[in-house]
Chain A
């Protein structure tokens, strides 16, 4: 379960989050929608531990534990995963090397032994086949020269392999065509259940056709200004965000 309580945060003296409160229960998918500049990506970064932001008030609990003081790697080891809006290219590090380093780092955090290479290869192969990630891609430098769709698939592959307790998807639909969107959504849907929660950040209702949310929240100017069921997404698609922009200021 992810609980965000009255979160205030700023960067370079500018307040971006202004008292955001949101709870996502075990097994639920919560969608956050909102206009550009409302602080959606900032929220995902702060929850996952990116440095450079100043949290001035509030708390973030993952399964009852306050994670705000932890560095990003510890949060990941506690089971948090962020699928990036713009997956980062890492020249010189093959995808396979990176995946192995990430999986073993998390196992080490949890006091587990490193995965033997054959077992690791088997797990990666099975998961990548399911997501239509070519073996050739795994030998290339991580995300370097990947298409938008390939990058997003790679994010979902990492999420599958790292088996998090809670996933944040930051505009995973951006830059995807319908086919790629379906593959990515299928990958996410396969991870639903088992008590795993998701926070899905998106501009458009389109993604929510494929990943059906349990709740929808409108974010504007650093706060959640309205919450509702899946029907709220349809309403936003029809009317836009104009009703909420003034309200938050």
Chain B
């Protein structure tokens, strides 16, 4: 005997499905794009928003966090573009910068659209006219399959940017990808961007997420970072503190080819509800992948970092190193899964998550997983959760540092351990300053 369980759709789920039916014909893309949008929409219709019953979402209940759907974001008007433009720091000489407002690529605020080494264009153009290689990469056939939140992004995606870096190009300055959400009124943002690193190219990509205003923004965005052989990429993700009303799912999709060095670091400053998911696949051999981050949470923030690193091929190494400071009544989640395919011999993977809880009602959930099907591998993981060391605190205080300053000093050192993974000195300094400012805000 078997029982059929009928899932009752929530208001948000019903609205999302109807919204897709309404906009489906107007979304950019031809037959192939339509096909994978429809496939994703069907997956969403059958699975709904992820809840705790979905293993990969066990600590982050998106369905509960998103009871209703905000209206789909519209392209920004002149006034908003002007306001967002005023919030940007001036671009340096030769700076390449892509600006997205509410998920829409805004050429007027972007810089260095076409140079001999970099090409930048609206992803809508790629979707509508792109060659099948670009479309294939965008469809991420081997990454995040079955994830209903990513499927929503796939179904609705529009408005993002594609940045192509020519083979062999070494960029002197970080390439900026700035995502601004306005929050003057509730809006649902579904945008996907793609960065393709040409073979042997070397650059830093700074991906920033900034919020203006405080309305209920539902952001579900994705970045596909496709790294061709021998490219050397540093990706620095900064999510500035968001309004508490924000619900944000961010998917980072990484294809890592032979001899690639890819270093991705994230500073998450909390605010609202965040699920940051990384799907990485080692597509060839001899690549070095490093994923790291510092997550700073307070109040009632909820931030989840979930990653899946698929060692689908032999002779690759991956390092995952995450630090979390959880204050107030905030909740942090770290889930890391390393998969080693049967023939992926000589895989070298190490994962570490460390947390300091500073809030009386703070919580942290860690779930490290190894799925190893090869026998000649070196893999390990570790997770720690604790309070600040009272002996270190006393030592610093006995030298004259007030408690708050002593805590800040120790916490900065704790978070800085991950920040040190960033090679670009200017960005590292910026990150250290941001961490310090966050800590000072906490102490105040």
Contact = CB atoms under 8 A, between A and B. Distances in A.
Interface string A191-225: 00000000000000000000000000000000000
Contacts of B412: 92-93
Contacts of B401: 73, 101-102, 105
A178 interface: no
Contacts of A97: 409
Interface size class, chain B: 20 to 34
A98 B410 CA distance: 10
Contacts of B414: 92
Contact of A93 (B394, B398, B402, B413): B413
A49 interface: yes
Contacts of A177: none
Given A48-B398, A82-B398, A98-B409, A90 B392 contact: yes
A76 B409 contact: no
B74 to A, nearest CB: 46
A88 B395 contact: yes
Contacts of A81: 398
Interface string B407-438: 00110111011000000000000000000000
Contacts of B390: 51-52
Interface string A75-101: 111000110100110111100011001
B397 interface: yes
Contacts of A162: 399-400
Contacts of B409: 90, 93, 97-98, 101
A175 interface: no
B391 interface: yes
A109 B401 CA distance: 9
Contacts of B81: none
B417 A92 contact: yes
A76 B397 contact: yes
Nearest to A161: B399
A82 B399 CA distance: 8
B403 interface: yes
Interface string A37-74: 00000000100111110000000000000000001110
Main secondary structure, interface of B, reads helix
A106 interface: yes
A90 B413 contact: yes
A103 B405 CA distance: 13
B383 interface: no
Interface string A8-52: 000000000000000000000000000000000000010011111
A158 interface: yes
A93 B390 CA distance: 16
B396 interface: yes
A105 B403 CA distance: 11
A88 B399 contact: no
Contact of A91 (B394, B406, B413): B413
A101 B400 CA distance: 9
Interface string A135-165: 0000001000000000000000010001000
A52 B400 CA distance: 19
A69 to B, nearest CB: 15
Nearest to B391: A88
Contact of B400 (A73, A88, A90, A141): A73
Given A51-B394, A84-B395, A90-B395, A77 B413 contact: no
Nearest to B408: A101
Interface of A: 45, 48-52, 71-73, 75-77, 81-82, 84, 87-88, 90-93, 97-98, 101-103, 105-106, 109, 141, 158, 162
Given A105-B401, A162-B400, 16 more contacts: A48-B398, A49-B397, A71-B397, A71-B403, A72-B394, A72-B397, A73-B398, A73-B400, A76-B397, A76-B398, A77-B400, A90-B392, A103-B400, A105-B400, A106-B400, A109-B400
